[in-house]
Amino acid sequence: MNPISNVYNWQRLTPEDAHYYFGYYDRNPWNADQTLHLMLRIDQCERLPLPGEKAEIGVVTPNGGWRKITETRAWCHQQGCMELFHPQRPDCIIYNDFDPETRRLEARIFQLGKGEVGRYRRPIYALAPNGRYAVSLDIGRIPRRGYSYADCPVGDSLYPADPDHDGIFLIDLKTGEEKLLASYRAMLEKHPYRYSAEGRYIWLNHAIVNCDSSRILWLFRQTPDQHQVRGWQTFMYTCGLDGKDLCCVLPEAYWTRAISHQIWGRTPNEILVDANWDGTGHHAVVLDESEHPFRAVKLAESHGIMSHMIFSPDGTRLLADSYPDADGVQTLALIDSATGAMDILGRFNHRPEKPNIGDTRCDLHPRWSPDGHYITVDSIHDGRHRACYLLKI
């Protein structure tokens, strides 16, 4: 009997000698022909990484088997090192690392079987689906250590040193040319209640490019104490990849105790969120960010608690995981986009007496393969190691 499901046959992809995981749910871990799946290998999951501590980057095949490629000092438990296959160079991966000589984060290109073949001056956060561009932001400013890197300690400056020339950047993957799409100054000018950001530490994260590579969304966050990271406020912004039409689509008033995650949907302007706007629990909700004011539509009831959600490549289904319930169980559901019908794909018992919801926790972070036939998740339900599991559907 499969411990995850009595119906679906989940397969463990990674060895049992260490902790293995991919990272976030908003990106594709597979190579072009779906024969290799990217993975990180680490020795511990009980604490945050220390400065200088490395993670191994490698690949596994759908039948299992691990092969190390390289190492990185720029990694975290929630999002790894942003490792991805390079869209313009199928035999290469792109990932973030820390250069001890320059004391800077950067993105590196590694050719399988050969070695490092290039670098970008800034770290990457996301890739555009058209394969032409990467999005960058100052990961070192992110005070949540489960989403940033140990070699870049959080500073004391509430605002970036140069808010006119720092913010969301676009990198041309072919030439390495950089362009500032939206500055902190421009975001503050569009801030729906700018006074609330005064005397607050501000940062950016969770940048994602839409399906036709025409627009980007990200979160602008502010907190009274960057060293505690409690009581932060969230504002979701969007703009075109040409830097035009900058807008704060979802102010903080829509977020508090109502949304935990967001991602682009099936069309260039559709955004999917796990909203609890009616007070009955978190549901799968979509909105058109080009409409002002927007009109939200509920697709499905979902789990009723906070969830990572993502549409299948063809848009007909969506995956929705859950945070641990009172017993430490995380549930993964497959939802029909048209009817809202839900099928439980698995229940992952993460076992601890008190479920870990801190920066070293292990979320499922469900991910589709490009053809929509495979799902992978990260889980620690065996009680020993963080591991990657695969389901063919």
pLDDT (average), residues 109-123 = 97
| Bridge partner residues of 99 (DSSP) | 104
Dist. CA 129–CA 322, nearest whole Å: 26
149 falls within a domain: yes
Determine contact, residues 239/247, Cβ cutoff 8 Å: yes
Determine contact, residues 334/311, Cβ cutoff 8 Å: no
2 falls within a domain: no
DSSP 277-337: TTSS-EEEEEEETTSSS---EEEEEEEES---EEE-TTSSEEEE-----TTSEEEEEEEET
Q: Which pLDDT score, from 0 to 100, does residue 43 have?
A: 94
pLDDT (average), residues 146-161 = 93
pLDDT (average), residues 328-353 = 90
**pLDDT-derived band of residue 2, with 50, 70 and 90 as boundaries?**
low
pLDDT (average), residues 103-114 = 97
- Neighbour-count burial for 262-276, b at 16+ CB within 10 Å, e otherwise: bbbbbeebbbbbbbb
CATH number, position 85: 2.130.10.10
- Residue 138's Cβ-count burial label (10 Å; 0-12, 13-18, 19+) is buried
Total domains in the chain come to 1
pLDDT (average), residues 114-130 = 97
235 falls within a domain: yes
CA dihedral 104, 107, 111, 113 (to 10 degrees): 50
5 falls within a domain: no
Q: Which pLDDT score, from 0 to 100, does residue 356 have?
A: 54
- Sheet architecture: strand order including 66-72: 19-21, 37-42, 55-60, 66-72
Query: Furthest-apart CA pair in the chain: how many Å?
Result: 58
- DSSP class of 185: H
- DSSP class of 141: G
71 falls within a domain: yes
Residue 38: how many other CB atoms lie within 10 Å: 24
Separation of CA 317 from chain center: 19
Q: Quick check: 42 pLDDT over 60?
A: yes
Among 215-224, 227-236, 350-359, name the most confident range: 215-224
Q: Which pLDDT score, from 0 to 100, does residue 353 have?
A: 46
% the chain with pLDDT above 70: 98
Determine contact, residues 152/103, Cβ cutoff 8 Å: no
Q: Which pLDDT score, from 0 to 100, does residue 156 have?
A: 87
| Bridge partner residues of 133 (DSSP) | 172
Q: Which pLDDT score, from 0 to 100, does residue 237 have?
A: 98
Residue 242: how many other CB atoms lie within 10 Å: 11
Listed range (89-93, 163-167, 308-312, 355-359) with the worst mean pLDDT? 355-359
**pLDDT-derived band of residue 257, with 50, 70 and 90 as boundaries?**
confident
| Bridge partner residues of 85 (DSSP) | 93
pLDDT in tens, 13-40: 999 999 999 999 999 999 999 999 999 9
pLDDT in tens, 176-199: 999 999 999 999 999 999 999 999
| Bridge partner residues of 96 (DSSP) | 107
58 falls within a domain: yes
Q: Quick check: 135 pLDDT over 50?
A: yes
Stretch (H or E) spanning 188: helix 184-190
Q: Give pTM, 2 decimals.
A: 0.95
pLDDT in tens, 56-93: 999 999 888 899 999 999 999 999 999 999 998 999 99
Determine contact, residues 12/21, Cβ cutoff 8 Å: no
4 falls within a domain: no
Dist. CA 328–CA 163, nearest whole Å: 42
DSSP 330-380: EEEEEEETTT--EEEEEEEE---SS---STT------EE-TTSSEEEEEE-
Structure tokens at 354: 């008190």
- For 103, the domain range is 11-392
Strands (E), 101-254: 104-111, 115-120, 126-127, 133-136, 167-172, 178-183, 201-209, 215-223, 233-240, 247-250
Dist. CA 193–CA 63, nearest whole Å: 52
**pLDDT-derived band of residue 1, with 50, 70 and 90 as boundaries?**
very low
Residue 57: how many other CB atoms lie within 10 Å: 23
3 falls within a domain: no
